[in-house]
């Protein structure tokens, strides 16, 4: 069963903060019961994409195409 968090806490799966309003669930039972995000947030840092060469379509250092 899922619920909306009313208080701050820490997700046992991702170790990120649980904020009020996050959708959470209990996992386990008795004294082993922990709170987890239903869907853990993921932070993805996207760096500059490495694009293939426009001539040979391989990925190599700029200006290194021998075609």
pLDDT in tens, 3-59: 999 999 999 999 999 999 999 999 988 888 999 999 988 765 667 777 788 888 888
Whose structure tokens read 């903060």?
A: 17
**Is there a contact between 24 and 13 (Cβ–Cβ < 8 Å)?**
no
**Whole-prediction pTM value?**
0.58
Domain ranges, ordered by start, for the chain: 1-62
Distance CA 60, CA 50 (A): 9
Over its C-alpha atoms, the chain yields an Rg (Å, rounded) of: 22
Distance CA 15, CA 48 (A): 28
Residue 63 pLDDT > 80, yes or no?
no
């Amino acid at each position: 069963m899922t619920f909306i968090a009313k208080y701050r806490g820490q997700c046992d799966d991702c170790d990120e903060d649980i904020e009020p309003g996050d959708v959470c669930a209990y996992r386990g039972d008795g004294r082993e019961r922990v709170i987890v995000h239903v869907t853990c947030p993921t932070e993805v840092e996207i760096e500059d994409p490495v694009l293939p060469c426009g001539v040979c379509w391989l990925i190599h250092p700029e200006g290194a195409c021998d075609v």
